[in-house]
Amino acid sequence: MSQETPRDATRYYFISDLHIGGDETLQEVEFMDELVEFLRDLEASDEDAELIVNGDAFGLWEFTDLEGMAKFDALVARYPELFEQLRATGERVPITFIPGNHDYELACYDEYVDRLAEYNVTLEQEVVITREVADRVIWIEHGQQRDPNNESPDFGNPYAQPPGYHVNRRITSRAGKLSKHGKFNWLKDIQSVTPMTQIPDWLISNYFYREMSPVLRYAVIPFLLLFNVSLFYVVVLLFDVVGLWSLPNEVVEAVLRRLSVVGVLIDVVLFVNVAVILLLTLISIPLFFFARDVRRTLRRFGLVGGDDPEEINDRYVGAAREVFDARPEVAVFVYGHTHRASITGVDDRVVVNTGTWLRRLHRQRAVLGLLPRVFYPSFRLNYVRVFEEDGAVVVEYAVIEKPNPTDLTLLERLLTRKPELYLPIPERTVVSSEWQPPPSMPGRQAGDHSSMPEHDGGP
């Protein structure tokens, strides 16, 4: 049953980046119960509302053994409760999807429009859509067109795939197939590692804390824990050699003697670490030039650099400013893609990132030594609601409570302090109601794209 694009909703709900589906362990959806309950709540509400999933509802890139509409059939077969709830909710509240990069195929085949319509979901095969609220406009996109690694050079062309497509087909989907072979089934979380430049750190961390032989791990821990002490000891020795300062050997020996067998072991560890530090010092100069050259090469290929979280946020805020300048009636700029929920005020307008429902990973340093970093997992299932109140546009941010995963090892918890997982996001933001449309601006109904600028693959 096809459903027309709604034109008279008074409240708009936004979620994104669900990434549902994929090869083998990527099919696991940790938030499925919460998502179905969220849809049920919308179905039971008496609001005149519309739910908009602004991209990456599905992980179609992560299917490598299926092609075409067989991917949709697999989704329906795997998650029947979800699709039946979409059908039920869609009878009461209009539901609209737009394509993201991971489900870019939604933009390429009209069959997806028809198949989703069977479940009362309207698919708009556009990079940008708009909705009207309080005589203002909400600009809605996924955000992939502002990411050089994921923008579609010819939007809607199934053969014009960005670099991110090949990364997911060869790395992310492969991780989904291999994850169960690990001791802790952790490889499937690769799609939660953002930015991607943290993947090497994440792999080292999981190898050390989860996959490494326990005998080997606990054998090297003393050396890694005392590495900083050893480095300090080397500095003291150098000061002693040049005559700047000397720590009497009798003091060190007395301390170690007091520790008995433990002191002997510490002495051995310090000696080995000092030898390693001296060796590393000798080869550090050629290694420096080699590492610098490798980094330059990787940067040319876009594999490192350029995706610092703050830089990414600035990129989207800058894009929003351009939209606000070109379209003064736009009050709210909504995007997703980066998996970092936020609400940012820009002059008298608002920029909204709808975040993700996937687990998030937060990199944390070990409290001592040279041990690998630990990636703390968490959930932040969020949605954004935009509506009119007393002539103003109101943006509300809400979180659906879900306990954080508890799959860190005891060693990981002992060696790190729990990080501050998230910066606070205002629960309610009001856009000034003083703006008035210029006399020459024609009136538009919500969902009308007639005045949208034409674009070739991007807004």
Tell me the one-letter amino acid at 257: R
214-225 helix and 260-300 helix, angle to the nearest 10 degrees: 90
d(C-alpha 366, C-alpha 382), whole Å: 30
Joined together, the tokens standing for residue 442 give 């024609």
Which of helix, strand or coil describes residue 362?
strand
* Residue 420: C-alpha distances to residues 207, 356, 361 (Å): 24, 18, 12
* Residue 1: C-alpha distances to residues 4, 5, 117, 448 (Å): 10, 13, 6, 22
Of residues 6, 9, 89, 8, the one with CA closest to residue 49: 9
Q: Which domains can be identified in the chain, with CATH numbers?
A: 11-208+309-431 (3.60.21.10), 226-300 (no CATH)
**Average pLDDT score over residue span 33-48:** 96
- Average pLDDT score over the chain: 84
Residue 248 confidence (pLDDT) above 80: no
Of 106-110, 178-182, 334-338, minimum mean pLDDT range? 178-182
Residue 367 confidence (pLDDT) above 70: yes
**Average pLDDT score over residue span 195-206:** 89
| pLDDT given for residue 281 in this prediction | 67
**Quick one: pLDDT band at residue 308, thresholds 50, 70, 90?**
low
% of residues, the chain, pLDDT over 90: 60
Report long-range pairs for 266-271 (Cβ below 8 Å, ≥24 apart): 266/226, 269/222, 269/223, 269/226, 269/230, 270/226, 270/229, 270/230, 270/233
Alpha helices in 122-259 (DSSP H): 163-167, 173-178, 199-206, 214-225, 227-242, 249-258
| pLDDT given for residue 269 in this prediction | 66
| Position with higher pLDDT, 16 vs 243 | 16
Of 117-121, 291-295, 350-354, minimum mean pLDDT range? 291-295
Longest dimension (CA), the chain: 89
Alpha helices in 93-159 (DSSP H): 110-117
Most confident of 126-130, 193-197, 225-229, 312-316: 126-130
Residue 261 confidence (pLDDT) above 70: no
**Quick one: pLDDT band at residue 122, thresholds 50, 70, 90?**
very high
Buried b (16+ CB within 10 A) or exposed e, 80-110: eebbebbbbbbeebbbbbbbbbbbbbbbbbe
d(C-alpha 8, C-alpha 363), whole Å: 44
Cα–chain-centroid distance for residue 159?
A: 26
| Position with higher pLDDT, 40 vs 182 | 40
**Quick one: pLDDT band at residue 221, thresholds 50, 70, 90?**
confident
Residue 116 confidence (pLDDT) above 70: yes
| Position with higher pLDDT, 1 vs 197 | 197
**Average pLDDT score over residue span 425-445:** 64
**Average pLDDT score over residue span 201-222:** 92
Of 116-125, 240-249, 338-347, minimum mean pLDDT range? 240-249
| pLDDT given for residue 231 in this prediction | 63
Sheet holding 121-123, edge to edge: 121-123, 95-98, 49-54, 11-15, 381-389, 392-400, 428-431
**Average pLDDT score over residue span 304-311:** 54
Alpha helices in 65-138 (DSSP H): 70-78, 80-92, 110-117
**Average pLDDT score over residue span 325-340:** 95
Residue 12 confidence (pLDDT) above 60: yes
pTM of this structure:
0.81
